[in-house]
Structure 1
Amino acid sequence: MRNIKVTIEYDGTGYHGWQSQENAISVQRVVEDAFKKLTGENIKIIGASRTDTGVHAYGQVANFFTESKIPGEKFFLAVNSLLPPDISIVHSEEVQEDFHSRFCAKGKKYKYLIYNDRAPSALLRSRAFHVPVPLKLEDMKKAAGFIPGKKDFSAFKASGSSVKDSVRTVTGIELQKKDNIIELTVSGDGFLYNMVRIIAGTLIDVGMGRIAPDELSSILESMDRTRAGRTAPAHGLYLVEVYY
């Protein structure tokens, strides 16, 4: 059996997340069906990140085992004609048998897009979160400065999460604005469920003046989810890259 690694780009608007589930269309299921048509095998593909409904990806990584003779570097060319236009395999290669897209990952990078203008964008309605009031970018940047490092991020964990260890290392965070779009980029060794969306929502609340920039320090120390801001909507979130 050969182990094939693929990098997948997708618009998550029309899907119930990455992971296969009953009675719902997922990215994983569509990709598996395409590889089944290509190889004639019942392919089970393993994704690095279980992105939620509506979340997009530039660089989702997955792997699968096959007996197909198609060269590893040609798989992406062969399968794309069998995929819908909102999913694309952008790279493929054969890797060692012990490679696992999720367990071998060393870190991930996400970005969150905020459309900051009084009027909504028709073209970005499913790809950026519309915030109609002016945001104070410098305050958001100041607040973001408290986030990097190895910390307990319980305050940025989805309510009801069963994860016992909430310690994660955020290696970088950046905010940039071009025209009416604010781009938040966050990288780290791993993220709690909804963690990036809660970080985004909290920084938006800072930009709106609901939370003072300096409060981020005490919010983190409190480990209290109710102290942090909203959970920003899924459609503004993108998985950019998985590090190995």
Structure 2
Amino acid sequence: MGVEYKGSRYRGWQRQRDNVLSVQQTLEEALSKVADSPVVLHCAGRTDSGVHACGQVVHFDTLAARSPKAWTMGANINLPHDISATWAKSMPAHFHARYKAVARRYRYVIYNDQIRPAHLGDQVTWNHRPLDVERMAEAAARLVGTHDFSAFRAGQCQAKSPIKTLHHLRVSRHGKMIVLDVRASAFLHHMVRNIAGVLMTIGAGERPVEWAGEVLASLDRRAGGVTAHPFGLYLVEVEYPAEFELPARFIGPHFLTGFESLAADDPAVIC
């Protein structure tokens, strides 16, 4: 099943022991009503508190026989306004939403203006300092490739290895919005937010472009400065082998789909 959600009200994706509000628990309860039996979900990527998704993929095992439309519409009838099921499909038994994924893609959206926005306040990260996108893009290029990203890894990260491959890290401006678009095989905990923090510092002129590479080479999280806020972060796409034939949707978030320049080098974006 494809899922999108606004993460502002939730303590992240994962169900919590203290029963605080989570996306997983909310979606499991809705799907259990459709199945008329308990449903346990597995997701492609566990997002943090306040982080959003427009391309999350989940799977669950069930004996309930429902059509794809019935799963999707039934879930949405039982879900709150800030979570939506976007598609559903029966899959072969060897499919797994997390372990069969070959790449994940995030977008981090910055609202760059002296005045804080009254709209989209918890869906973008506001930065009042004038940011130089060219400097940010030049610094971003130093992080692309296969590296040890220990300097961009949260202390509580449970990944077995800090070595990850960034396939692309693009920086583009669209009016007041600056978008960081990053695709990798997998990510470390807080990795995108830590990258965003470094790039914004460089964009503000507080550090030289070379600092991005210096932070990377240090292998020390303390060298990288402050972790950026979660508000502007979106899981926008999860990729799988072609054999699974998962439905394709636009690359979000929704309020960016009208920016044709964002889609110029990205045929997967529908405007």
TM tier, shorter chain?
over 0.9
Instruction: Identify the match of residue 129 of structure 1 among 125, 129, 138.
Output: 125
Mapped to 1, the partners of 2:213 and 2:19 lie a distance apart of: 43
Mapped to 2, the partners of 1:120 and 1:9 lie a distance apart of: 26
* Aligned residues: CA RMSD: 1.2
- Indicate how the Cα distance of structure 1 residues 16 and 160 shifts in structure 2: closer, same or farther if over 3 A, else same: closer
Deviation at 1:158, TM superposition (A): 1.1
Instruction: Identify the match of residue 8 of structure 1 among 3, 15, 20.
Output: 3
Is the 1:135–1:207 contact (alpha carbons within 8 Å) kept by the matching residues of 2?
yes
Instruction: Identify the match of residue 193 of structure 1 among 172, 175, 189.
Output: 189
Deviation at 1:127, TM superposition (A): 0.6
Mapped to 1, the partners of 2:226 and 2:82 lie a distance apart of: 29
Match of 2:99 in 1: 103
Q: State how many pairs are aligned.
A: 239
- Indicate how the Cα distance of structure 1 residues 55 and 178 shifts in structure 2: closer, same or farther if over 3 A, else same: same
Mapped to 2, the partners of 1:131 and 1:38 lie a distance apart of: 42
Q: Can you list the C-alpha shifts for 1:149-199, whole angstroms capped at 9, x where unaligned?
A: 011001111135354510000001111111111010100000100000000
Q: Greater strand share, 1 or 2?
A: 1
1:233 counterpart SS class: coil
2:231 counterpart SS class: helix
Q: What is the TM-score normalised by the length of structure 1?
A: 0.95
Mapped to 1, the partners of 2:19 and 2:198 lie a distance apart of: 34
Is the 1:73–1:94 contact (alpha carbons within 8 Å) kept by the matching residues of 2?
no
Mapped to 1, the partners of 2:21 and 2:154 lie a distance apart of: 24
Match of 2:37 in 1: 41
| Dislocated runs of 4+, deviation >2 Å | 159-164
1:19 partner letter? Q
Is the 1:34–1:79 contact (alpha carbons within 8 Å) kept by the matching residues of 2?
yes
Instruction: Identify the match of residue 24 of structure 2 among 21, 28, 36.
Output: 28
Unaligned segments of structure 1, at least 5 residues: 1-5
- TM alignment of 1:77-226, pairs within 5 A: 77-226=73-222
Mapped to 2, the partners of 1:164 and 1:89 lie a distance apart of: 31
